[in-house]
Amino acid sequence: MPDALFAPQQFGDTDLIRQIQLEGDTLYFRTLDSLQQVPTSGGTPQVLADLSQEPPSEFWVTDSALLVRATTDLFTVPKAGGAPTPLGPALAPAPSNFAATQLDGADLYWVAETAGSHGIFHRTLSGSTVNTVYTTKDDLVDLQLVAGTLYFMDKTAADIEGVPVAGGTPSKLTDANASDRLVAHDGANLYVTGSLGDATSTNYGLYRQPVSGKAPAHLATGLFITIESALDSSGAYFGAPANVSPNQVDPGDVKPSLLFAAASATATELRWCIDSSYTLHAVAVAGNAAYISVYNTPENKATIARVKF
């Protein structure tokens, strides 16, 4: 095991660390049914909230608290720990199929399916009104907010489109495939896993697609079924789990890896990898270090590895 913030330990019966968020020298993380924290210097994790009655889907760090989404419900948890406080209303009427969210300061945007229609919706954290940005019968997934435009994947139309946050008619950015996914952005580019256009046996991988509409750059080849992303001022980091082989000479070499793409690079660099007894589940980057959630399947234990650059 490389430099770890704490000794690998068991979370629940067979749980793992599913999401990481950083604020200063504190690292917050989410398991299936709890929020916890640990110093970036390392130490014993502290449970901030037991959320077993309403398991969290994702969370964010805001100025005043931890904001948590549990399916369609929002609530806050004090950063020092404590009972969750509901933050109504629900994000979408049930039943709904949640596809993606984006938090921008006090504004939350999300993609959901309700009553057979897909839509992009919005509410402020302090308000009680849910606003509709865009609705369609098409199947929508993923969401990235760049400079006032919400970019999403339209699986039915097989393209990437963008719509202003204020609403309106979407514009197509580029052709895509229904299996392609938007995984991150850096303010000028979207990062996409898939094949962007006609799929072949050699063009599946990780792409950087400028929001200006210029041609994409094919950064890495591999079967990126899932990928975790994190950004800093120097570029984008991608955690590729054990079911991919990113630019490895040996196709059987499927070690979980941390890849880096500088803003102007035409290919990713391999920054770190770990043996295939581990799987990789979340990435966060701050300063000169990356923090990576890893899970040892044979031992049923998880920890957070620290990788210094």
The domain ranges of the chain are 20-224
Side chain identity at residue 238, one-letter code: F
pLDDT tens string 146-191: 999 999 999 999 999 999 999 999 999 999 998 899 999 999 999 9
User: Alpha carbon of 308 to those of 72, 105, 272, 291: distances in Å?
Assistant: 37, 29, 10, 9
Q: Is 128 exposed, middle or buried (0-12, 13-18, 19+ CB in 10 A)?
A: exposed
pLDDT tens string 265-288: 899 888 888 888 888 899 999 888
260 in Cβ contact with 283 (< 8 Å): no
180 in Cβ contact with 192 (< 8 Å): yes
Count Cβ atoms below 10 Å from residue 287 Cβ, excluding itself. Answer: 11
Distance CA 115, CA 113 (A): 7
Instruction: Show the 3-state SS of the chain.
Output: CCCECCCCECECCCECCCEEEEECCEEEEECCCEEEEEECCCCCCEEEEECCCCCCCEEEECCCCEEEEECCEEEEECCCCCCCEECCCCCCCCCEEEEEEEEECCEEEEEEEECCEEEEEEEECCCCCCEEEEEECCCEEEEEEECCEEEEEECCCCEEEEEECCCCCCEEEEECCCCCEEEEECCCEEEEEECCCCCCCCCCEEEEEECCCCCCEEEEECCCCCCEEEEECCEEEEEECCCCCCCCCCCCCCCCEEEEEECCCCCCEEEEECCCCEEEEEEEEECCEEEEEEEECCCCEEEEEEEEC
Residue with tokens 């690292």, as numbered in its chain: 27
- Residue 198 structure tokens: 């006609």
- Residue 172 structure tokens: 């197509």
Q: Decide if pLDDT at 92 tops 80.
A: no
Instruction: Place domain 20-224 in its CATH homologous superfamily.
Output: TolB, C-terminal domain (2.120.10.30)
- Residue 1 structure tokens: 């095991």
Give the whole-number percent of the chain exceeding pLDDT 90: 61
pLDDT tens string 23-38: 999 999 999 999 999 9
pLDDT at 94: 67
Residue with tokens 């979407």, as numbered in its chain: 170
Task: Please name the residues in contact with 89: beta carbons below 8 A apart, sequence gap of 6 or more.
Answer: 123, 128, 130
pLDDT tens string 222-269: 766 567 888 877 888 988 875 444 444 454 555 788 889 888 889 988
- Residue 256 structure tokens: 């979980």
